[in-house]
Structure 1
Amino acid sequence: MQFFLDTANLDQIREVADLGLLDGVTTNPTIMSREGGDWREQAARICELVDGPVSLEVIATNHEAMIKEAKDLVSFGPNVVVKIPMIAEGLKALRELTERGIKTNVTLVFSPAQALLAAKLGATYVSPFVGRLDGLSQSGMEAVEQMRTIFDNYDFSTKILVASVRHPLHVLESGLIGADVITLPYSTIMQLVQHPLTDSGLAAFLADWEAFQKK
């Protein structure tokens, strides 16, 4: 399973890359706005810094404007993946972008049926928002599991990119289901590294070694 970092923060990107865990980056308008400054400059720097795919999202809600934005976004680098919202106009844009050979990430996916439509139209990725489904007392991971079954049934090449991740359990369940990619906030990646027994075990080892050296 690939790990994408869900951020536009360059320091976070560098740190996760240094850990060897960075396979790509996902952004959205909210994430970009948190960094301030010129978003175009920020997007260009991210694309230069990241070896893997970088998802940049369109703002338009009609397909003609989405296509125009997509042409602009791909100019930032060959690793750009254009994020398209799961709406009817988005599907029109998705079909054309697929025909043009532009990589796409269909975002704001909340049902297996939506994921099926995106895969049928050639999306590179679909992004189910599991945390938001959980927040409505629905099972986000059950939706992902159903998507995995559908995609395997028809041998779709579209990759399942689990998004809206809220805690490490989402990561574990995504791996068990066989999701292709998971995009994580920086804080969740750091949570995966840590375990209290690791900390206490290391502290005990170091204390024993220090005592041994004093003998």
Structure 2
Amino acid sequence: MNQLEALKQFTTVVADTGDFHQLAQFQPQDATTNPSLILKAVQKPEYAPLMRATVAQFKDRDLGEIMDRILVRFGCEILNTIPGRVSTEVDARLSFDTNATVTRAERLIELYQAAGVHTDRVLIKIAATWEGIEAARMLEQRGIHTNLTLLFSFCQAVACGQAKVQLISPFVGRIYDWYKKQAGAQWDETAMAGANDPGVRSVAQIYHYYKHFDIATEVMGASFRNTGQILALAGCDLLTIAPELLAQLSSHETSAQLRPALNSQTAKEQALERVLYDQPSFRFALNEDAMATEKLAEGIRAFAVDTRKLEVLMQQAAA
């Protein structure tokens, strides 16, 4: 048995890619995309015609709508390959606008429905700002399920649970990156691996809190730098993994039995206190967490940059 097969015994494996041709070999349940992954995909020869065809068909529409149609086109292709759900992201430039996020999410869902896709097979990805979480609360009440991304802190996770969002994507690798950079020459890779990895610890804390208090929101670890981080979170509800790391897991045979590092029973036995956030306390808690504040802002900026690059490619295709 290889490590990927072993992991699938305890955790739902999700592919983190816009390259739907890669999906079949790993047989993931779900798939996630983001602006950076879609940008990467449309620059490949096999996907460029898909973008050009979509732009040509809707060139009289505004850029935002054409963008959403490209995202949904990729999402539909992915859904033809997997049995589960696809996550499609709202424009990151709307991360601080609740109403605009809701409007954009509803359009994405309408486009999926027009393509014959049931709402339950789509998760709308939204940055876990206060405004994004409020948008997700409203969308969930309307039957549109959400995936809150760029999640780096416990307060973000708690607020998402309060909003009853479907799923959260706490990032592992970017947390790890921040702490490693802060430590500089003092960083001890061996000592900070596995369960001691700061990104792994963050997801474990959130998982235990959710399971302890029977919060229904699914926890999907994301943004991995190595397979050690992935295996250290075996037992998490879901893990979304880039194709390169899926390939490493599938090529590594394991003789030792993989045991789940996380389980709901252990979470129930922990002595935890319930926490509640309103907007002021959420903003203060996030502000107190320098890592989460920096990585959230950085992530939104990076997705916005790649969205603009995708718009340039769309405009070139329309010319």
Fold equivalence (TM over 0.5) = yes
Deviates most, 42-51 or 183-192: 42-51
The equivalent position to 2:74 in structure 1, one of 42, 46, 49, is 42
- Please report how far the alpha carbon of residue 57 of structure 1 lies from its aligned counterpart in structure 2 after TM superposition: 0.5
- Percent identical among aligned pairs is 29
- Please report how far the alpha carbon of residue 44 of structure 1 lies from its aligned counterpart in structure 2 after TM superposition: 2.4
- Please report how far the alpha carbon of residue 132 of structure 1 lies from its aligned counterpart in structure 2 after TM superposition: 0.2
The equivalent position to 2:200 in structure 1, one of 138, 141, 153, is 141
Map of 2:105 onto structure 1? 70
C-alpha distance in structure 1 between counterparts of 2:250 and 2:75, whole Å: 28
The equivalent position to 2:145 in structure 1, one of 100, 103, 106, is 103
For the Cα contact (< 8 Å) 2:34–2:89, is it kept in 1?
A: yes
Give the number of equivalent residue pairs.
192
RCO higher in 1 or 2 (8 Å CA, sep ≥ 6)? 2
The alpha-carbon distance between structure 1 residues 64 and 172, as it changes in their structure 2 partners (threshold 3 A), is: same
Map of 2:134 onto structure 1? 92
Deviates most, 111-120 or 40-49: 40-49
For structure 1, the 5+ residue unaligned runs are 199-215
C-alpha distance in structure 1 between counterparts of 2:85 and 2:254, whole Å: 35
Map of 1:155 onto structure 2? 214
C-alpha distance in structure 1 between counterparts of 2:132 and 2:166, whole Å: 14
Map of 1:169 onto structure 2? 228
Map of 1:7 onto structure 2? 17
TM-score norm. by structure 2 comes to 0.57
Deviates most, 35-44 or 128-137: 35-44
The equivalent position to 2:87 in structure 1, one of 48, 55, 65, is 55
For structure 2, the 5+ residue unaligned runs are 1-10, 43-47, 52-69, 181-197, 256-319
Higher strand share: 1
C-alpha distance in structure 1 between counterparts of 2:253 and 2:12, whole Å: 25
- Please report how far the alpha carbon of residue 195 of structure 1 lies from its aligned counterpart in structure 2 after TM superposition: 3.3
The alpha-carbon distance between structure 1 residues 171 and 67, as it changes in their structure 2 partners (threshold 3 A), is: same
For the Cα contact (< 8 Å) 2:134–2:163, is it kept in 1?
A: no
Map of 1:203 onto structure 2? none
C-alpha distance in structure 2 between counterparts of 1:133 and 1:197, whole Å: 28
Q: Does the residue aligned with 1:106 lie in a helix, a strand or coil?
A: strand
- Please report how far the alpha carbon of residue 197 of structure 1 lies from its aligned counterpart in structure 2 after TM superposition: 8.6
For the Cα contact (< 8 Å) 1:73–1:80, is it kept in 2?
A: no
List aligned pairs for 1:18-37, cutoff 5 A: 22-36=28-42, 37=48
TM-score norm. by structure 1 comes to 0.84
For the Cα contact (< 8 Å) 1:47–1:80, is it kept in 2?
A: no
Q: Does the residue aligned with 1:157 lie in a helix, a strand or coil?
A: coil
Q: Does the residue aligned with 1:171 lie in a helix, a strand or coil?
A: helix
